[in-house]
Structure 1
Amino acid sequence: MLVGRAAELRALAAAVTRPPAVVLLEGEAGIGKTRLLTELLRLPEVAARRPLVGYCQPMREPFPYGVVLEALREAGDQLATAELSPVTGVLRPYLPELAAFLPDPPEAADSRSERHRMFRAVRELLEVLGPALLVVEDLHWSDDGSRQLLRFLTADLPPGLSLLLTYRREELPGGITLGRAFRPAPGTASEVIELTPFDAEGVRRLTTAILGESEVSPDFAALLHERTAGIPFVVEETLRTLRGAEGAVHSDGATAKRLLDNAEVPALLREAMLERLSGLPIPARRLAHAAAVLGMPAPREMLAEVAGLLPGRADEALLRLLDTQVLRESGNCRYGFRHTLAQQAVYRTLAGPDRQLLHQRAAAALATAEPPPLVRLAEHSRRGGDQAAWLRYGEAAADRAAEVGDPSTATGLLKELLTDAVLADADVDRLAVKLSRVAVLGVAQQHEVIEVLAGLLTDHRLAPGSRGQVRLNLGLLLIRQEGGQESGRSEIETAIHELGQRDPLALRGMSALAQPFIGTTPLAEHLRWMSKVDNLIADVTDPAVLLTLIASNGPSRLHIGDPGAWELLARLPVRTEDRAEQQQLARAHCNIGDACAWTGHLRRAENHLRTGIRLAHECGASYLVSIASATQMHLNWLTGDWDSVSDRARRLAEEYRELRPVADELSLVLGSLAVAKGEWDRAARCFADSGIGRAENAVTPVALAAHGGLIRTLLAKEDLAGAASAADDGLRLLRRKGVWSWAGELVPPAVIAYCAVGRADAAAALLAEFAEAIDGRDTPMADAALAEARGVVEAQRGNPAKAAEFLTEARAGYAALPAPYYAALVGVRLLELSAAPDGELAALAEEFTALGATRDAARCRHLLRASGVVAPSRRGRRGYGNELSPRERDVARLVAGGSTNREIAEVLFLSRRTVEQHVANVLRKLDLHSRAELRNSEFVG
């Protein structure tokens, strides 16, 4: 009987029977996900949808797409009459069970095309199957390739397909369901169902169902709940150990406590499992031990081989284990424990020598498999004490993982070998270089890898040339970390000397030092390195080295507005077949996109980012994807594509919180959005997180833009002295760095602040300095900003005609980028300068509303009211009933963010009394009793 999950079962059934749908079922180990899934698949309406089930395994092999292909193996009888396109033939080598139904494989293609064909083929097969339910169990153990394929499917699910993913949130890489934030396609339903532990009443009902008792005392249920934390599996295992204790469930508190204290409770799960095994024959126990060592469902032949049992005795032992529910059949004649906790409990009962022998047998049994499961072979060899085999399989598994674009697995394997294995000098030398290379491409285990690499630099076994490579990659890792930029530059400079300036890797180090966007190192120092790299580029003949240098130096010159950068970037190839070169080509496009976003070539930025992200996905360069994701959020902010940016940026910031270049830029985006919405406190927190207080280790253009955002925040709050002080701070950093092409988001608010406090001379001097710095530079954003700032100064001087001329130029410049929010801000300033037609002001109010700039829209309506014109209602007048009106949603969002009624009134240009009425309506409509409840509800508007 399914207990306590009726609501979740109904929700699951409703979700998966309304395709296309992506349904996420999450919960910790032992919470009952598999049990609920089993019940779901028994429902007639779900069984009619042709469920296809794949199981991820804890010892992940670098074999992309494995779990999805496993699910498809059972679909043969449904394809007999299907008409399949030639592209599905690419699946034939991977699905021999379906070979009779699939077309011949198409001609071989390069890795990128093959990957795309594979994804298309899987999607078509799922579409042909008609109404179908694809289930992936234990997604937290999936390989990177499977996650990429699932992301591809979620972007465009076949109309009749529902996708159900089960996972443990705490074991997901980065805590993200599919490896990075994703958003279901329009028209695709999305549902997240979380299974939580039972409360005391739920434990009582579960106990009643398991034991068949009519009454269970509340005291016993409360104590059992306390001991088991309400996790159904642990409750069940505890109750198994209590069978025979007559009357236990009816006892009072004292008796129940005594009984539970003396029982094999979940805290001693290993002993409980030992008790269950102790009543079984020796062959059954040996088979259970073999299953615990293998760690995943295995065929009976393999279980027998590892246990050292003859086939007949092994079959008898397996039946006993199935009868006693120690093991279960998991499909395809494979047998394993019902739960990982049970497997771990049995494993921990094994004595060291027995455990070692079983791992040696497991390695021998798996060694004949084709293809060899390298990750599992490495783990069994390690635990079996075979150092040579561990090195052989571990290194091969890492190489394979890196080859198929799974740097996190490769990093973990190499790090483990270098820290725990007994290695010869040559092995340390080789593995250290591999670890440093693969770590630069990934985002996993960064701090641990940095610690290992730093330790290796003092290891005498590292050859001088290898030490230079390791130090270089360590430097590249350090500059991504909190507080690591300056130390990273130092390591890179040392590595260049160790490698020799003509070494290709040293050239890469030089190009990294030439990149100007980190810290407060003056532009002159970066230019020195840029010139060195430019001189060396002319002599480079190796295509891979040349591509690496251009991928760094070209975007670096774009960042400073060098018009000649495009000529250098024109030398980039359109495509390349070499994987290492593809990584550099992906890096080039991502870097170009970033530079274009900061200098104002926003349409070009979008094109290059799209290409860079695609290439990075194809070659497994996850770090590039993370960097490009932050750039994309920044670009969306600039171009006015604000839909869901806030939620996506928050998710990405959490995912990449340890990668400062990524996290800082995302904080800038969140702060900029907060300013536009009037959330002053949130904006200030976000800008503080963007690096303005740690300039030496910040991403400089991010810090400069954050200073500009902080100035706008203080101006909106009418803290004019604070705004001028913030302008001084930002300009101090700008002048120290010397890259004025990044000043577009700083100079206009700085000039406004200076004019507001009567520092007209400082504003004029800043304009002259700015104009001279960007003269002859290719900087569309800075050009528009200069025109805006000139308009502000002319207005301050009492020259409205000249001011309007400059502001009109600025508005056109921003619109051409396109940066619609900045264009609209200049539009308001233009209308304030003249007798503004009411229609234009109303149109600007609607433009701000469409963007999501709540505060600016409210300001426009306030100006309309001040002019005696009744402000038009947003989207027309209508009754909202129990739904929140647009204004009420604005108020609710500000209350949820912690704003007081006075602050809300200032942001939305309303009276305090009107705000009070809106707050009362919000609480009534949301069925809440206080502002505190609204804040705790995480309302996002």
Structure 2
Amino acid sequence: MGHGGARPLLLRSGSAPMVGRDAELAVLLDAVEHAPSVVFVEGPAGVGKTRLVAEFAAAVRARGVRVLVGACQPLPEPFPYGVLFDCLSQCGDHLDDPGPVTGALRDHLPELAGLLPPAPRALGDPDAERHRIFRAVHELLRSLGATVLVLEDLHWADEETRWVLRFVLASPPPGLSIVTTYRREDLPTVAPFGYPSHVPHGVTGVNLVLGPLGVADVRAMIDALVAEEVTSDRFAEAVLRETAGIPFMVEETVRALRDPTVDVRAEGDRAQLVLDRIDVPVPVSDAIAERLGNLPDAARSVAEAAAVLGVPETADVLSAVADQPEVAHLIRLTKSTVLVEEPANRFGFRDNLARRAVCASLPGPRRRELHERALAALSTLDRVPAGRLSVHAKAAGRKREWLRYSELAAEAAEDVKDVALAVDLLSEVLADPEISVEDTNRLAIKLCGYALMGLPGGVVTTRVESLLSDPRLAPDVRGEVHLWFGLLLQRETGTVDRGADQLARAIDLLADQPQRTVRGLAAMAGPYLGTASIAEHRTALGRVETITDHLPTQALRTVLLATTLGGRLIIGDSSTWERVAQLPSPSEVHDPDEIHHLARAHCNLADACSWIGHYPRARKFLRSGITLAERAAASYVLGTAEATAVRLDWLDGQWSGLEQRIDRLVETYANLLLTTDLNLTRGWLAAARGEWARAERAFEATGSYPLTQVFPVGVSAAGGMAGMLLSQGKVTAAEEHVERGVGMLRSKGAWVWSGDLLPQAVDFYLAMDRVDAARRLVAETIVGLGGVDAPLAHAALTGCRARLAAVTDDRGEADRLYREAIGLHHDLGLPYRATQLAEQAEDGATANVTVLEVLAESYESLGATVDAARCRHRIRGAGVATPSRRGRRGYGDELSPREHDVARLLAGGHTNREIAQALFLSRRTVEDYVAKVCRKLNAPSRHDVRL
């Protein structure tokens, strides 16, 4: 696979930053401070030895200490003293009175010939000549003074070099430090300087063993490579799995990314998918090929078997697949670190990238042969996952076995609630044109069933859609695929209308089979989607329920009741409570599919209760629904439950940590319709805190502009926007939102959902002196709510009637209605709205300051910053000094509550004017607060404030 429009990182070889080695660098520098010293830096290829000593050499040179660097080469016959002479040839400008014996090096170091004494007469005895060379090297190093000798890859050094280093260290020059790097697995002996190896008395000796990086360091390295701190935790974890934390592997992996600054942000399963799609980097392939090239053919065959097997395996399995019965080959591979031993006596590659490189290097026939042997060997063992057998069967070209094992693997994935894997497994099989018509139709039905249990969107929805182009599908199966595809689309933002079209096509294709179409009919009858009136939806629900009553099994009835019960309740139909008894008890249901639909029924009822105002019942249904959804691993159902729980927590004043929960859930369920609900709650919360820009973005994200896909959310978002603008005094700007929301209520006849819009609409009309418009709206609502089970809407209506009575100077009626409205809201468990009504009941001219103070404290306990500030502003306006919120004098370097409010608004990008307006403060006071916040948070400017 090519890299297409890739934007590769343009880094020179070895230019990647050093990460995670600060402690080791400190040890190296400390050793130089305690010369004479010798440091052995050990570690496998690519672990970062060269990068570490390069940083070390630069740091030492910066201190004014001489550093000589040389590297051994992987030559068949290394040159005697080669690396040493390479280093010493660099020191011509630093010699200080080299002794006579150094003349023995003139012929070996022509660069220094003019600086060394005359060459001594040849001795004729090789051992004596060797001894003289040793002494000459020692003396030359002494004449250099304080020097650091860095020798890399000592495992490739010649024997003479290792012996002369031992000789020098026996009585080292006082200012000499030697730093060596090596791979233990490639040493010709058991120690760097030969056997036995020890550090003489008086010499500082340090052994450093470099290991792989951990996930935090992997993430830091990736961030440094892309020059941005954007790497997600999931991507760093995926890179760690792929590379085993070897820096060379990490660097080459990041270089190979198609779009690094985008790819490293990948979350969830996409993080691994990004890595799976890149080719094995050429430097990695070359390094692995070189390593395998040094092995005997038999050992290489075992390594190839391990690569094809994919996961660590026992010696018996490796031998069977490689057709190499001797264990000696495995020992050779582990000693050379091509393979590593895992728990339970299993052997495999240290990192997946190396394994992939070996697989990619295999010729097709050889790879197929190994997969055939792997299938044969693994199929005789107990408890081998069907998914592994499926992979080998496919690679070996065994179609029937591939299909059988894939289907078993999909069932196993469903058992452990991994719906996405089940869908992927069957999709891969169905993509093969050679699969029979019978198998295609059977597996298509299975795949759709799996898809509807998990989270829709992205790959899952695409998999189902791709089935529609398969010519092998029978008409009735194609109808069912349209049905399931439509149901998936109705769960995603921006695709509701398309989903309805798919459901309509399914109903046409399956017109003679009502038992199979009834779920589509139920979905289309859902009153919260589309523009049809509530009356039309009620009629449609009735038609579906007629079919439901004649379904042959309880399981089929549960499927339909899951949709119709919530649909009836959300339009305020009180007969729903009798119909709920038709649902089976959770203890009676054992089939996973029926559990899934019973969970859906309970969660849909909880959602409906939360919209119309039956909050205790909503909590009860939510608890049972979540328990059932967890039993069935119904991901989407759990998502809807979490969104409902967030809205309920907002309504009953449990705001602590709510913003973080919403952020997490919106990210988890991105692009799904349930995020509109979450954004509505996010908007409510931000508006109450004075974070108006954030609130506006959230309300707009509900999809309510120009027309919502979820009607209750759209109506409530219009009310939220209008209320926020009215609180800022932007009455004219609120008009479009009020008229849009009221128009939605009228066109659909959805007065049951008016509770979150009616108060704001009445406030708007009264602010515009349009009392008659307010009266008409209230009168319409009274009629629309006749016989409707909607506690929230009725409570809101009572509050609006109190407001109208107050503006028409019917104070006694207003007081009575306000008390009734406040009581209704308290009974419903809506402390925020009840407090707002209590404040509204305190008429400006006759407001009770003591009551306002209690209300301000109630607002503050909730976290309603704007309302609390408005309340205290009213108290100050009455000429009463407000007590300090601080509770103690002085906060030192900590933020006071008011400073925290200012800091939060600053972090949201608000101007001083907007902060002053939100907190009812003067611009001058806000300026003082901003200066204090910046000082306490060490922020250079207001734009750097972060909480």
Task: Specify if TM > 0.5.
Answer: yes
Identity %: 42
Q: Per the alignment, in what secondary structure is the counterpart of residue 563 of structure 1?
A: coil
- In structure 2, do the counterparts of structure 1 residues 834 and 809 end up closer, same or farther at CA, with 3 Å as the change threshold? farther
CA distance in 2, matches of 1:530, 1:462: 31
Q: Per the alignment, in what secondary structure is the counterpart of residue 720 of structure 2?
A: helix
Letter in 2 for 1:647: Q
Correspondence 1:626 to 2:629? no
Correspondence 1:585 to 2:598? yes
Correspondence 1:414 to 2:438? no
Q: Per the alignment, in what secondary structure is the counterpart of residue 332 of structure 1?
A: helix
Please, which of 315, 319, 329 is the counterpart of residue 300 of structure 1? Answer: 315
CA positional deviation for 1:720: 0.6
CA positional deviation for 1:270: 1.4
- In structure 2, do the counterparts of structure 1 residues 306 and 231 end up closer, same or farther at CA, with 3 Å as the change threshold? closer
CA positional deviation for 1:628: 1.0
CA positional deviation for 1:388: 1.4
- 8 Å Cα contact 2:561/2:583 also seen in 1: yes
Please, which of 186, 192, 197 is the counterpart of residue 221 of structure 2? Answer: 197
Letter in 1 for 2:931: A
CA positional deviation for 1:674: 0.5
Match for residue 691 of structure 1? 703
Please, which of 521, 531, 546 is the counterpart of residue 520 of structure 1? Answer: 531
- In structure 2, do the counterparts of structure 1 residues 167 and 419 end up closer, same or farther at CA, with 3 Å as the change threshold? farther
- In structure 2, do the counterparts of structure 1 residues 485 and 274 end up closer, same or farther at CA, with 3 Å as the change threshold? same
CA distance in 2, matches of 1:628, 1:564: 23
CA distance in 1, matches of 2:827, 2:381: 61
CA positional deviation for 1:503: 3.2
Q: Per the alignment, in what secondary structure is the counterpart of residue 309 of structure 1?
A: coil
Match for residue 845 of structure 1? 856
CA positional deviation for 1:267: 5.1
Match for residue 291 of structure 1? 306
Query: Pairwise mapping of residues 653-664 of structure 1 onto structure 2 (< 5 A)?
Result: 653-659=666-672, 661-664=673-676
Stretch moving more, 514-523 or 563-572: 514-523
Correspondence 1:561 to 2:566? no
Match for residue 792 of structure 1? 803
- 8 Å Cα contact 1:436/1:473 also seen in 2: yes
Match for residue 272 of structure 1? 287
Stretch moving more, 710-719 or 493-502: 493-502
CA distance in 2, matches of 1:562, 1:680: 36
CA distance in 1, matches of 2:791, 2:306: 65
- In structure 2, do the counterparts of structure 1 residues 304 and 865 end up closer, same or farther at CA, with 3 Å as the change threshold? same
Match for residue 891 of structure 2? 880
CA positional deviation for 1:327: 1.4
Q: Per the alignment, in what secondary structure is the counterpart of residue 329 of structure 1?
A: strand
CA distance in 1, matches of 2:622, 2:775: 37
- 8 Å Cα contact 1:271/1:349 also seen in 2: no
- In structure 2, do the counterparts of structure 1 residues 399 and 826 end up closer, same or farther at CA, with 3 Å as the change threshold? same
- 8 Å Cα contact 1:687/1:710 also seen in 2: yes
Letter in 2 for 1:4: G
Query: Pairwise mapping of residues 79-478 of structure 1 onto structure 2 (< 5 A)?
Result: 195-197=219-221, 233-235=246-248, 268-310=283-325, 312=326, 315-420=327-432, 422-443=434-455, 446-478=457-489
- 8 Å Cα contact 2:214/2:245 also seen in 1: no
Please, which of 711, 714, 727 is the counterpart of residue 725 of structure 2? Answer: 714
- 8 Å Cα contact 2:745/2:751 also seen in 1: yes
- In structure 2, do the counterparts of structure 1 residues 604 and 198 end up closer, same or farther at CA, with 3 Å as the change threshold? closer
Letter in 2 for 1:646: E
- In structure 2, do the counterparts of structure 1 residues 757 and 392 end up closer, same or farther at CA, with 3 Å as the change threshold? same
CA distance in 1, matches of 2:810, 2:384: 79
CA distance in 2, matches of 1:678, 1:495: 48
- 8 Å Cα contact 1:475/1:489 also seen in 2: yes
Match for residue 129 of structure 2? none
CA distance in 2, matches of 1:193, 1:283: 37
CA distance in 1, matches of 2:346, 2:338: 14
Match for residue 481 of structure 1? 492
Match for residue 933 of structure 2? 922
Query: Pairwise mapping of residues 846-865 of structure 1 onto structure 2 (< 5 A)?
Result: 846-865=857-876
Letter in 1 for 2:893: N
CA positional deviation for 1:3: 7.4
- 8 Å Cα contact 2:410/2:422 also seen in 1: yes
Letter in 2 for 1:277: L
- In structure 2, do the counterparts of structure 1 residues 474 and 559 end up closer, same or farther at CA, with 3 Å as the change threshold? same
Please tell me whether Structure 1 or Structure 2 has the larger radius of gyration of its CA atoms.
2
CA positional deviation for 1:638: 1.1
- 8 Å Cα contact 2:213/2:246 also seen in 1: no
Return 5+ residue gaps in structure 2 as ranges: 1-17, 25-45, 49-211, 228-242, 253-278
- In structure 2, do the counterparts of structure 1 residues 746 and 3 end up closer, same or farther at CA, with 3 Å as the change threshold? closer
- 8 Å Cα contact 2:549/2:557 also seen in 1: no
Please, which of 482, 504, 511 is the counterpart of residue 493 of structure 1? Answer: 504
CA distance in 2, matches of 1:579, 1:905: 56
- 8 Å Cα contact 1:675/1:683 also seen in 2: yes
CA distance in 1, matches of 2:403, 2:47: 37
- 8 Å Cα contact 1:846/1:874 also seen in 2: no
Match for residue 829 of structure 2? 818
CA distance in 1, matches of 2:222, 2:561: 58
Match for residue 84 of structure 1? none
CA distance in 2, matches of 1:536, 1:487: 25
Please, which of 589, 599, 612 is the counterpart of residue 625 of structure 2? Answer: 612
CA distance in 1, matches of 2:19, 2:668: 35
Q: Per the alignment, in what secondary structure is the counterpart of residue 873 of structure 1?
A: coil
Letter in 2 for 1:336: G
Q: Per the alignment, in what secondary structure is the counterpart of residue 336 of structure 1?
A: strand
Query: Pairwise mapping of residues 589-600 of structure 1 onto structure 2 (< 5 A)?
Result: 589-600=602-613
Match for residue 256 of structure 1? none
Q: Per the alignment, in what secondary structure is the counterpart of residue 789 of structure 2?
A: coil
- In structure 2, do the counterparts of structure 1 residues 465 and 855 end up closer, same or farther at CA, with 3 Å as the change threshold? same
- In structure 2, do the counterparts of structure 1 residues 401 and 484 end up closer, same or farther at CA, with 3 Å as the change threshold? same
**RMSD (Å), alpha carbons:** 2.8
CA positional deviation for 1:742: 1.1
- In structure 2, do the counterparts of structure 1 residues 878 and 541 end up closer, same or farther at CA, with 3 Å as the change threshold? farther
- In structure 2, do the counterparts of structure 1 residues 346 and 694 end up closer, same or farther at CA, with 3 Å as the change threshold? farther
CA positional deviation for 1:200: 8.3
- 8 Å Cα contact 1:327/1:338 also seen in 2: yes
Letter in 1 for 2:333: L
CA distance in 1, matches of 2:392, 2:357: 18
CA positional deviation for 1:502: 5.2
CA distance in 2, matches of 1:845, 1:592: 35
CA distance in 1, matches of 2:305, 2:433: 25
TM-score, normalising length: structure 2: 0.71
CA distance in 1, matches of 2:284, 2:309: 19
CA distance in 1, matches of 2:778, 2:878: 33
CA positional deviation for 1:199: 8.7
Letter in 1 for 2:645: Q
Q: How many residues align?
A: 704
Please, which of 741, 762, 774 is the counterpart of residue 751 of structure 1? Answer: 762
CA distance in 2, matches of 1:719, 1:3: 53
CA positional deviation for 1:271: 1.9
